């Protein structure tokens, strides 16, 4: 077999794995997109807000629970021969913490019920929440094991199973049992528990106690590796949670419901983010190793900025459809959707301007990036949420992600990946003021959006020309090769 055949086989294998791992998130996002209007059409914003606080706290607890050991597990996976021994040691501390949290929940059941649901009478739901935390840990490490074995399709199918299980129970509760926030809570808990129960039974050999032994050196190494990641992840989690925590502290459940429902719609953009980063991360590393000219990195950055800004304007132009999807009770979503769409858009663009951080291996800079974003987030939430509710939280989120972009780009430029991003700042500023216009302008809004669209095209005309020229150049090369081969 010649080198070209080997290269083609490697490429085909890479594409298969990429598609395999992408199937789960894409179909999962589609299931989520179906679930949103089903719940918002039958459950009012206040009830939806109560449920969202429950789901938010589940995410926050999960962030701290793993202590970064989940990331250490993936780091150690290929360097340790006995995979089952590694799995059992890695899951040990997070599982112990999960059981400890469950005991605390049982001891302070009324207080935690009040914190989760605003009422101490929902004790059964709170106990189920504690059980769900335990099985979440098990699910996390089983799925990580599948990922590290590169069982892409199996990983995706199991991810889809969990989402589908939650959707089925959502339908059962809404159409047959009840239409309040507990319908979302119970369907999320029961759906998750059943899917995870299947995982535990299917992969029960990973938990064989007779083969278990504690490896103190390995545990210490994983904890030391994981703690800095825990700090960065915690800051990131705080950045993504402050908006709803602020609404819980200084507003009401109606505003939380409006905000969360809109956030889930905007979150569909994360499919684009995932698809791009799946392709871009390995490509960027390969280009760096090949010492590719920085102009190619800039072209990709300019190209993704163009794409994301046009997607933003498309969403803004059709934002009234979101109200139709969610239901009339969520009509206030039209005022905040543009702000919340900035979050995945800015993050995706920042993936092309922050490469200097990872290339230089100075990942600790991500902690400072998080701090730079969290501080304005907290201050703006404090100032605006009591007055503006969900709109204030949405403004805080968008401003903090602009700060996130600035910090990421700055640290990257100081560590070997410096190219002009003036146009990036101009375009992002325009997008932010477009979000403000769509929140406050009632008349001439269509004209305003059309004018902004034209301005964005003019500002990025050189990028369009470069992409078009590159396309023509590549097409010309292909034609020449075909002529030569003939």
> What is the residue-level pLDDT of the chain in tens, covering all 486 positions?
554 444 445 445 545 555 555 566 667 667 766 777 777 777 778 887 877 777 788 777 877 888 888 877 777 776 787 888 888 888 888 999 999 999 999 999 888 888 777 677 778 888 888 888 888 888 888 888 887 776 767 777 777 888 888 888 888 888 888 877 788 888 888 888 888 888 888 888 888 776 677 888 888 888 887 777 788 778 877 888 888 889 888 888 888 888 888 887 777 677 777 667 756 766 787 788 788 888 888 988 999 999 899 989 988 888 877 667 767 777 788 889 899 999 989 999 998 998 888 778 677 788 888 899 999 999 999 999 999 999 999 999 999 999 999 999 999 999 888 888 999 999 999 999 999 999 888 778 889 989 999 999 999 999 888 888 776 765 545 455 544 444
Alpha helix positions (H), 118-252: 123-148, 152-172, 181-202, 216-250
Task: Identify the pLDDT of residue 211.
Answer: 65
Going by C-alpha positions, the residue among 269, 235, 314, 356 that lies closest to residue 29 is: 269
The total number of residues shown for the chain amounts to 486
Cβ pair 188, 196 in contact under 8 A: no
Q: Are 104 and 95 in contact (CB under 8 A)?
A: no
* Whole-angstrom Cα Rg for the chain: 24
Instruction: Kindly report the number of other CB atoms within 10 A of residue 100's CB atom.
Output: 11
pLDDT confidence of residue 89: 87
Of the candidates 135, 191, 190, which has an alpha carbon nearest to the alpha carbon of residue 162?
191
CA dihedral for 332, 338, 339, 340, sign (positive or negative): positive
Query: Which pLDDT belongs to residue 13?
Result: 54
Which residues neighbour 147 within 8 Å (Cβ) at sequence distance 6 or greater? 21, 74, 155
Give the Cα separation of 416 and 390 in Å (integer).
40
Q: Are 437 and 335 in contact (CB under 8 A)?
A: no
User: CA-CA distance, 72 to 103, in Å (whole number)?
Assistant: 27
Query: According to the model, what pLDDT value does residue 16 have?
Result: 55
Could you count the other beta carbons within 10 Å of the beta carbon of residue 116?
20
CA dihedral 421, 365, 393, 45 (to 10 degrees): 110
Find the helix or strand (DSSP H, E) in which 58 lies.
helix 45-65
Cα(341)–Cα(190) distance, integer angstroms:
31
What distance in Å separates the CA atoms of residue 358 and residue 325, rounded to the nearest whole number? 40
DSSP letter string, 387-424: HHTHHHHHHHHHHHHHHHHHHHHHHHHTTT-----HHH
Task: Indicate the burial class of 23 (C-beta count within 10 angstroms; 0-12, 13-18, 19 or more).
Answer: middle
Cβ count near 321 (within 10 Å): 12
Token look-up 């034609």 returns 479
Helix 152-172 to helix 181-202 angle (10° resolution) is 150
| In the block, residue with structure tokens 């979000």 | 435
* Location of structure tokens 């210490």: 220
Q: From the CB of residue 176, how many other CB atoms can be counted at a distance below 10 Å? A: 8
Please name which of 185, 182, 186, 227 lies closest in space to residue 69, comparing C-alpha atoms: 227
CA 287/CA 445 separation, integer angstroms: 43
Q: How far is CA 147 from the centre of its chain?
A: 18
The rounded distance, in Å, linking the Cα atoms of 424 and 405 is 10
- List all residues 6 or more positions away from 34 whose beta carbon is below 8 Å from its beta carbon: 167
Alpha carbons 55 and 58: distance in angstroms, whole number = 5
Q: What's the pLDDT score for residue 385?
A: 93
CA separation for the pair 113, 54 (Å, rounded):
10
In angstroms, the first-to-last Cα distance of the chain is: 24
CA angle, 199 then 269 then 163, to 5°:
20
pLDDT attached to residue 480: 53
What pLDDT does residue 29 have? 67
């Amino acid at each position: 077999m010649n080198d070209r055949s080997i290269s083609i086989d490697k490429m085909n294998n890479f594409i298969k794995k990429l598609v395999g791992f992408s199937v789960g998130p894409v179909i999962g996002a589609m299931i989520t997109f179906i679930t949103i209007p089903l719940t918002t059409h039958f459950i009012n914003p206040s009830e939806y807000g109560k449920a969202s606080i429950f789901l938010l706290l589940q995410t926050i607890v999960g962030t701290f629970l793993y202590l970064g050991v989940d990331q250490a597990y993936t780091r150690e996976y290929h360097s340790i021969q006995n995979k089952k021994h590694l799995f059992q040691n890695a899951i040990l501390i997070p599982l112990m913490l999960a059981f400890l949290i469950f005991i605390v929940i049982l001891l302070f059941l009324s207080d935690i019920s009040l914190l989760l649901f605003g009422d101490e009478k929902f004790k059964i739901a709170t106990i189920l929440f504690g059980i769900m935390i335990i099985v979440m840990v098990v699910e996390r490490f089983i799925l990580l094991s599948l990922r590290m074995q590169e069982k892409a399709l199996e990983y995706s199918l199991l991810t889809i199973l969990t989402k589908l299980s939650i959707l089925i129970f959502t339908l059962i509760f809404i159409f047959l049992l009840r239409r309040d926030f507990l319908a979302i809570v119970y369907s999320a808990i029961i759906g998750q528990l059943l899917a995870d129960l299947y995982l535990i039974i299917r992969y029960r050999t990973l938990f064989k106690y007779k083969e278990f032994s504690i490896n103190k050196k390995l545990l210490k190494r994983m904890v030391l590796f994981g703690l800095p990641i825990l700090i960065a992840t915690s800051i990131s989690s705080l950045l993504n949670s402050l908006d709803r925590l602020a609404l819980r502290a200084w507003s009401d459940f109606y505003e939380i419901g409006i905000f969360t429902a809109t956030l889930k719609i905007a979150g569909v953009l994360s499919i684009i983010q995932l698809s791009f980063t799946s392709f871009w991360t390995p490509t960027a590393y390969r280009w760096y190793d090949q010492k590719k000219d920085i102009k190619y990195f800039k072209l990709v950055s300019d190209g993704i900025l163009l794409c994301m800004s046009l997607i933003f304007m498309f969403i803004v132009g059709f934002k009234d459809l979101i109200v139709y999807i969610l239901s009339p009770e969520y009509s206030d979503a039209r005022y905040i959707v543009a702000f919340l769409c900035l979050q995945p858009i800015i993050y995706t663009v920042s993936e092309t301007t922050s490469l200097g951080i990872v290339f230089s291996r100075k990942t600790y800079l991500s902690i400072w990036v998080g701090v730079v974003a969290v501080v304005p987030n907290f201050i703006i939430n404090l100032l605006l949420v009591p007055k503006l509710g969900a709109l204030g939280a949405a403004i805080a989120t968008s401003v903090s992600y602009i700060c996130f972009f600035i910090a990421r780009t700055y640290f990257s430029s100081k560590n070997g990946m410096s190219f002009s991003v003036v146009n990036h700042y101009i375009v992002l500023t325009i997008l932010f003021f477009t979000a403000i216009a769509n929140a406050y302008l009632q008349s001439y809004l269509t004209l305003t959006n059309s004018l902004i669209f034209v301005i964005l095209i003019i500002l990025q005309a050189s990028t369009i020309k470069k992409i078009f020229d590159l396309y023509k150049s590549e097409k010309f090369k292909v034609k020449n090769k075909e002529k030569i081969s003939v």
